[in-house]
């Protein structure tokens, strides 16, 4: 599925799509084509790719070796602002306050089959006979930086994935200010930018905006994506329908702040980019350190919006959902929340469970209110110990009775949050996300825990693990009802780490908690509560409100 011509042209293709990369005269990576499959390419002269007319008398030449060469109108795989390209770039690196205007030249590449599944950061995976990947190794020798970009193409799929890492090989610290995961350059064909927007209880409405010269963007600065926007956009031909027309989808497999934007220049060249939102983000790389960007997915279809939805669904089902859950039916769930809210005891719950069993339910989910002294939504978050007033014989005894009815058991958690009156907060007020100034926002009567702090992640895991073991738990309903305000980590301050790294470190901490839970309990099913957080969880079981037009249930599991 990967064809290489003279080490200058790289063609990734299957029966559905082709994606072509070339090496530009300055040894940077250029973009040639993404669209319907071209099959095996006929022989041709690589030089024709470089025969581009200089369209503007004011265009700046890029380097002295070729005084006709410019990046102003070139399609690139990793564009950089400020050389001869004045559009927004995908990467920006500084040395203290000085921009470096990086110049990554191709030095090597290699191919491999298969794509390993990892839990540390959600991404796609594939068996050895299902995919092929190519890794481009690029070096900026003068600035002592190394870049690796990996593209993967999958058999029978209209999706191609992209992952990239940046490494500092020099002795001086470098600061990443911008490192977007995906770039797609196309000629405008009366494109509209399609995105999914909305609000709580009104999520994922299709909105389209015609492209014109300038930039259109959507994103999130809430600490997570949410009801308003999710990390998906598409370019669709204006005449495209549900069943016909070219559509290019772009997804970011990431739960934190994101930016997706399309920029069209004066020559109708379109640059689509998405990745971690550069606002309130930077990341320092000391010597030998590497930063990994979230994975980006690009999908092409000539079958309109339904074609995009089907391609995305098929890809997720095969290459994102955990193998354990791919062919297993999810249980029919009965949840006690609307029936009882906080007003319940064990006897009432068991009666509901018996009624749910008679109705054909398969899993009884015990919702909010089972822990601490949680009799309303202003108390006890963080104290993940069963309330003895509601479970006098312990929650393990209750779980045995549920399982004796031949029902699975699910339990509600909101792991990222803590209540001001909780024992956890009284013991560790420094574990809360809050600025050292006196003012602090309290949303829904709760604070956000500092998941950038490894000790917080470990403490929450230990508390959840005890409950999971005691109840032989089958299912977690994972809620997230509060976005981040006054983003500040006392832990990062203590470690001398910039607060601009907080948002990403917070999400990595969240992923670490998932990794620990799923490594310990590989068959546990986890629901990301749709109504609660919008929601930060990428990769557990949830109706996909974060992955484009697809509406399925998925499981990020081992």
Of residues 247 and 327, the one with the higher pLDDT is 247
The reported pLDDT for the residue numbered 230 is 87
Alpha-carbon dihedral of residues 153, 297, 319, 412, nearest 10 degrees? 170
Query: CATH number for the 2-323 domain, one of 2.60.34.10, 2.70.98.60, 3.40.50.2000, 2.60.120.860?
Result: 2.70.98.60
In tens, the pLDDT along 237-288 reads: 999 999 999 999 999 999 999 999 999 999 999 999 999 999 999 999 999 9
Share of the chain above pLDDT 90, in %: 82
Q: What are phi and psi of 463, to 5 degrees?
A: -65, -45
Residues in the chain: 558
Query: pLDDT band at 202, cuts 50/70/90?
Result: confident
Pairing type for strands 363-366 and 333-335 reads: parallel
148 and 110 Cβ atoms separated by less than 8 Å: no
Span 522-539, pLDDT tens digits: 999 998 875 554 554 443
Query: Do 274 and 260 meet the contact criterion of CB atoms below 8 Å apart?
Result: yes
Q: Name the nearest CA neighbour of 507 among 313, 287, 220, 157.
A: 220
User: What value does the mean pLDDT take over residues 366-391?
Assistant: 97
In this model, does residue 429 exceed pLDDT 60?
A: yes
Domain residue spans of the chain? 2-323, 331-540
When the pLDDT of each residue in the chain is averaged and rounded to a whole number, the result is: 90
pLDDT digits (tens, 9 = 90+) for 469-478: 999 999 999 9
CATH class of 331-540: alpha beta
Query: In 3-state terms, what secondary structure has residue 312?
Result: helix
CA distance 12 to 4: 9
Token pair of 462 as six digits:
């230990």
Average pLDDT over residues 349-359: 97
Residue range 312-334: average pLDDT?
Answer: 94
Q: Do domains 2-323 and 331-540 have the same CATH topology?
A: no
Q: Which helix (H) or strand (E) holds 477?
A: strand 475-478
Q: pLDDT tens for residues 485-529?
A: 999 999 999 999 999 999 999 999 999 999 999 999 999 999 887
Quick one: tokens of 552?
């399925």
**What is the pLDDT at residue 225?**
87
Question: What is the reported pLDDT for 66?
Answer: 57
Sign of the C-alpha dihedral computed for residues 497, 498, 499 and 501 taken in this order = negative
pLDDT of res. 227? 84
pLDDT score of 177: 97
């Amino acid at each position: 599925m990967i064809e290489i011509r003279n080490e200058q042209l790289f063609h990734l293709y299957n029966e559905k799509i082709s994606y072509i990369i070339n090496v530009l005269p300055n040894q940077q990576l250029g973009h040639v084509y993404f669209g319907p499959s071209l099959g095996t390419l006929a022989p041709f002269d690589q030089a024709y790719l470089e025969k581009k007319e200089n369209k503007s008398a004011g265009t700046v030449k890029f380097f002295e070796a070729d005084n006709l060469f410019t990046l102003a109108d070139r399609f690139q795989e990793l564009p950089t602002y400020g050389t001869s390209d004045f559009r927004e770039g995908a990467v920006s690196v500084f040395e203290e306050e000085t921009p470096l205007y990086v110049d990554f030249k191709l030095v090597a590449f290699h191919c491999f089959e298969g794509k390993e599944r990892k839990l540390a950061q959600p991404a796609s995976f594939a068996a050895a006979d299902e995919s092929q990947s190519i890794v481009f190794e690029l070096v900026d020798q003068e600035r002592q930086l190394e870049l690796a970009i990996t593209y993967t193409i999958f058999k029978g799929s209209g999706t191609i994935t992209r992952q990239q890492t940046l490494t500092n090989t020099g002795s001086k610290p470098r600061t990443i200010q911008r490192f977007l995961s995906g770039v797609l350059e196309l000629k405008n064909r009366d494109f509209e930018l399609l995105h999914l927007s909305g609000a709580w209880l009104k999520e994922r409405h299709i909105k389209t905006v015609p492209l014109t010269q300038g930039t259109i963007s959507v994103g999130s600065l809430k600490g997570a994506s949410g009801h308003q926007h999710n990390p998906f956009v598409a370019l669709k031909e204006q005449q495209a329908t549900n069943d016909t027309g070219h559509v290019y989808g772009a997804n970011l497999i990431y739960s934190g702040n994101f930016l997706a934007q399309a920029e069209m220049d004066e020559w109708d060249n379109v640059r689509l980019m998405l990745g971690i939102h550069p606002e309130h983000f930077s990341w320092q790389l000391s010597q030998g350190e590497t930063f990994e960007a979230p994975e980006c997915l690009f999908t092409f279809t000539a079958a309109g919006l339904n074609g995009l939805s089907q391609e995305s669904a098929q890809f997720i089902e095969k290459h994102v959902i955990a193998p354990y859950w791919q062919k297993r039916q999810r249980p029919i769930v009965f949840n006690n929340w609307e029936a009882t809210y906080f007003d319940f005891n064990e006897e009432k719950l068991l009666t509901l469970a018996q009624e749910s069993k008679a109705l054909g339910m398969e899993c009884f989910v015990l919702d909010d209110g089972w822990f601490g002294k949680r009799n309303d939504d202003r108390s006890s978050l963080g104290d993940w110990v069963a309330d003895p007033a509601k479970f006098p014989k312990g929650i393990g005894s209750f779980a045995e009775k549920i399982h004796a009815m031949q029902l699975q058991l699910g339990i509600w958690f909101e792991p990222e949050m803590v209540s001001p009156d909780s024992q956890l907060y009284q013991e560790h007020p420094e574990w809360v996300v809050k600025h050292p100034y006196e003012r602090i926002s309290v949303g829904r009567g709760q604070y956000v825990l500092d998941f950038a702090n490894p000790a917080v992640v470990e403490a929450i895991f230990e508390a959840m693990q005890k409950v999971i073991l005691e109840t032989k738990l089958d299912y977690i309903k994972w809620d997230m009802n509060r976005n981040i305000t006054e983003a500040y980590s006392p832990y990062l301050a203590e470690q001398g780490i910039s607060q601009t790294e907080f948002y990403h470190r917070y999400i990595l901490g969240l992923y670490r908690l998932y990794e620990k839970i799923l490594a310990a309990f590989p068959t546990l099913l986890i629901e990301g509560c749709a109504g609660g957080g919008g929601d930060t969880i990428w990769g557990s079981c949830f109706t996909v409100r974060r992955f484009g037009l697809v509406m399925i249930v998925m499981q990020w599991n081992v």
